Amino acid sequence: MSILKGHQQLNGSWGQLWWNGELIIEVESFEAKVTANREDVPIANSLDVDSKITSLKGEGSFKIKKVFTRGINQMLKNWNSGHDIRAQLVGLLSDPDTSNKQKERVVINNVWFNELTLMQFELGQKLEREFSFGFTPSDVEFPDTIEKV
């Protein structure tokens, strides 16, 4: 039986995010998830209710430190002219203590943004901007994964 050592736990400090090929150096957090939408399926001759996946929905968000305007002006111009632009997000975890220096990378294509925070601030507080997004789960790839060794 293999024993997991504490230093092998991945640390989010090593996470990186690219938006359309550009490294977002001011990233604070990133999350992407897929939700299975289900319908109940009653089982004949039983009181059991099972379920069936009817569709998949991809959504997520990332938060960045407020350093740059970071593309919101161009996105708003596109939306105002009726263009629903799409993007690519790439997330990478490459903690130096990972077994055999493995990395985990996810490539999410067909990303759309759901809202734009044009400006916000609070006196005496560091500023951050959050971007919520959606994507089609069939447009996701994992070119790199961390395998058990």
What residues does each domain of the chain span?
A: 9-32+61-144
Pairwise CA distance, residues 7 & 111, whole Å: 34
pLDDT at 15 over 60: yes
Encoding tokens for residue 114? Answer: 């759901």
pLDDT at 4 over 80: no
pLDDT at 29 over 60: yes
Pairwise CA distance, residues 141 & 135, whole Å: 12
The second-level CATH assignment, the architecture, of 9-32+61-144 is Roll (2.30)
- Structure confidence at residue 71 as a pLDDT band (50, 70, 90): confident
Mean pLDDT of 78-105: 91
Pairwise CA distance, residues 25 & 103, whole Å: 18
Look up residue 42 and give its DSSP letter.
Answer: E
Residues 6 or more apart in contact with residue 141 via CB below 8 angstroms: 106, 107, 109
- The reported pLDDT for the residue numbered 121 is 93
Give the distance from CA 46 to its chain's centroid: 40
Look up residue 43 and give its DSSP letter.
Answer: P
The residue that leads in pLDDT, 39 or 149, is 39
pTM of the entire predicted model:
0.88
- The reported pLDDT for the residue numbered 1 is 54
Backbone angles phi, psi at 3, to 5 degrees: -105, 130
- The reported pLDDT for the residue numbered 147 is 84
pLDDT, tens only, 104-125:
999 999 999 999 999 999 999 9
Q: Which of 90, 86, 149, 77 shows the shortest CA–CA distance to 118?
A: 77
Max Cα-Cα span within the chain: 64
